[in-house]
């Protein structure tokens, strides 16, 4: 279900900022106005509220998680009207439960227009979920509401200084390289026991290089060089951490891979397959290892665990239940053709199966935290009925196989789904 009312309101306000003029009866001006409104709506869909020289970043307006509670703030980014060669981007947020202000200040300058090559600098003081991996080349993905974020409680503080180079070999092959220095301080009682040396907080110096290859994307030159997505898509990222370089404490390396496939017509029935894999070698703290995208609260009864299902997470896997230094997840979704109840009411049934496998070499290094491995293979299946009412739906998922639990109810996840987009 579209956020038509929200989009219309934001579009109206944005028009006041960007135009400040009355409507014209000139057909040419009306056409230009329509084009501008279309571009503004596109910006809103990407999570920006545009003004003349800078855009508000809507990602930081309002979030919630188990550590910060309510997290709110504002982000700003300069646009092409400010400069096509230079850009400034920053944000500031405040967590009402941890009573702490977080922020990032950054900017960049374009080295080459033809290859869209940018050199960027940033300073960030914020939180990151333990065991999560971010691909440098991920295109901006904006959601008004991030379901899985509500339940996350394991974060580490980080102060990160980075220099980053973005480059496009072609419209189908993107790359980013980054050198960063981070001070890591877990928000929980974690100790990394490395050969008798205990680290409760630590410094990490890393170099990363990432490639995103989308061989079947089509460049739409008639619409500001926008892209029509084609599948499959492939992303690979290599990370190297250096000991004793810029005060780095550990020497390790990581390789991360993701591939996304879509088969069929999205307006009818289609299937989606997502494969994610990662491996870490060397002395890697838990903060930089892998979870498998869990999204189940550790509470006794089903109704106490009733929350909102994520987009690509394991709904029956409890938070902090598994960590790995090598893992692979496979997710299959089959979207049936929407039920054509009426012009505006079209609920959709989605069949889902997820599988994860992984292991860890030295679990004894990680003190004050208890977890299991995924070496036997984790399986869950279920279904979603989406867009039943105002974007809300329902999901049911069942855990079975090697990690099936003795009590039936502990294997069941029954949740809301929430699907809204501009």
Residue 302 pLDDT grade (very low, low, confident, very high; cuts 50, 70, 90): confident
pLDDT at 14 over 60: no
127: enclosing H helix or E strand: strand 117-129
Residue 311 pLDDT grade (very low, low, confident, very high; cuts 50, 70, 90): confident
pLDDT at 35 over 60: no
Distance CA 91, CA 133 (A): 21
Q: What percent of the chain has pLDDT over 90?
A: 70
pLDDT of amino acid 305:
84
Q: Which two tokens stand for residue 360?
A: 């860890």
> How does pLDDT run across 50-108, given as a tens digit for each residue?
889 999 988 899 999 999 999 999 999 999 999 999 999 999 999 999 999 999 999 99
pLDDT of amino acid 5:
44
Residue 375 pLDDT grade (very low, low, confident, very high; cuts 50, 70, 90): very high
pLDDT of amino acid 301:
82
Cβ atoms within 10 Å of 298's Cβ, excluding its own:
13
**Neighbouring-strand partners of residue 201:** none
Distance CA 367, CA 374 (A): 19
Mean pLDDT of 249-253: 97
Residue 21 pLDDT grade (very low, low, confident, very high; cuts 50, 70, 90): very low
pLDDT at 30 over 80: no
> How does pLDDT run across 340-358, given as a tens digit for each residue?
888 889 999 999 999 999 9
334: enclosing H helix or E strand: strand 326-335
pLDDT at 288 over 70: yes
pLDDT of amino acid 82:
94
Residue bearing the bigger pLDDT, 206 or 196: 206
3-class SS shares of the chain: helix, strand, coil, % to 5: 15, 50, 35
Residue bearing the bigger pLDDT, 249 or 143: 249
**Which structural domains are found in the chain, ordered by start?**
1-45 (no CATH), 114-418 (2.40.160)
pLDDT at 283 over 90: yes
pLDDT of amino acid 142:
59
E strand spans, 130-284: 155-170, 173-186, 191-194, 197-199, 202-213, 218-220, 226-228, 233-241, 252-264, 270-282
Q: Which contacts qualify for 100-106: CB closer than 8 Å, 24 or more apart?
A: 100/68, 102/73, 102/126, 102/127
Mean pLDDT of 270-287: 97
Mean pLDDT of 297-306: 83
Residue 16 pLDDT grade (very low, low, confident, very high; cuts 50, 70, 90): very low
- Closest by Cα among 359, 360, 352, 410 to 381: 352
pLDDT at 117 over 60: yes
- Closest by Cα among 263, 203, 202, 259 to 236: 259
Mean pLDDT of 19-41: 56
Residue bearing the bigger pLDDT, 419 or 343: 343
Cβ(154)–Cβ(285) below 8 Å: no
pLDDT of amino acid 8:
47
What's the distance, CA 142 to chain centroid? 9
Cis peptide bond upstream of 232, omega within 30: yes
- Helices 4-18 and 27-45: crossing angle, nearest 10°? 120
pLDDT at 17 over 70: no
pLDDT at 412 over 70: yes
pLDDT of amino acid 357:
98
pLDDT at 2 over 50: no
Residue bearing the bigger pLDDT, 104 or 418: 104
Output the average pLDDT for the chain.
Answer: 88
pLDDT of amino acid 36:
63
Residue 146 pLDDT grade (very low, low, confident, very high; cuts 50, 70, 90): confident
């Amino acid at each position: 279900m579209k956020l038509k009312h929200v989009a219309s309101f934001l579009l109206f306000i944005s028009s006041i900022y960007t135009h400040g003029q009355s409507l014209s009866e000139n057909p040419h001006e009306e056409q230009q106005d329509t084009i501008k409104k279309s571009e503004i709506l596109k910006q809103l869909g990407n999570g920006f509220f545009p003004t003349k020289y800078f855009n508000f970043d809507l990602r930081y307006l309002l979030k919630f998680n188990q550590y910060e509670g309510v997290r709110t703030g504002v982000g700003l980014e300069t646009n092409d009207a400010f400069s096509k060669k230079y850009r400034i981007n920053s944000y500031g947020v405040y967590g009402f439960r941890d009573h702490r202000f977080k922020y990032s200040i950054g900017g960049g300058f374009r080295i080459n227009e033809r290859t869209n090559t940018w050199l960027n600098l940033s300073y960030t003081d914020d939180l990151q979920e333990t065991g999560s991996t971010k691909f440098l080349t991920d295109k901006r993905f904006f959601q008004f509401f991030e379901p899985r974020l509500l339940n996350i409680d394991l974060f580490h503080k980080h102060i990160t200084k980075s220099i980053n180079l973005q480059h496009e070999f072609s419209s189908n092959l993107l790359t980013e390289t980054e050198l960063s220095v981070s001070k890591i301080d877990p928000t929980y009682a974690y100790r990394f026991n490395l050969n008798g040396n205990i680290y409760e907080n630590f410094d990490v110096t890393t170099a990363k290089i990432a490639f995103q290859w989308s061989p079947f994307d089509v460049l739409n030159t008639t619409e500001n060089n926008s892209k029509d997505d084609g599948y499959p898509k492939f992303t690979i990222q290599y990370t190297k951490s250096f000991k004793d370089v810029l005060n780095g404490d550990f020497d390790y390396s990581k390789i991360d891979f993701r591939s996304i496939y879509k088969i069929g017509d999205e307006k009818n029935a289609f299937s989606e397959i997502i494969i994610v894999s990662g491996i870490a070698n060397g002395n890697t703290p838990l903060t930089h290892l892998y979870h498998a995208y869990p999204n189940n609260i550790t509470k006794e009864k089903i109704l106490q665990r009733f929350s909102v299902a994520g987009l690509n997470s394991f709904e029956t896997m409890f938070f902090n239940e598994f960590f790995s230094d090598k893992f692979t997840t496979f997710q299959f979704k089959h979207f049936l053709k929407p039920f054509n109840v009426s012009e505006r009411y079209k609920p959709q049934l989605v069949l889902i199966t997820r599988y994860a496998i992984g292991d860890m070499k030295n679990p004894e290094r990680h003190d004050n935290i208890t977890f299991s491995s995924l070496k036997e293979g984790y399986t869950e299946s279920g279904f979603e009925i989406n867009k039943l009412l105002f974007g809300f739906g329902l999901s049911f998922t069942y855990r079975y196989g090697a990690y099936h639990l003795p009590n039936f109810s502990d294997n069941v996840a029954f949740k809301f789904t929430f699907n809204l987009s501009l």
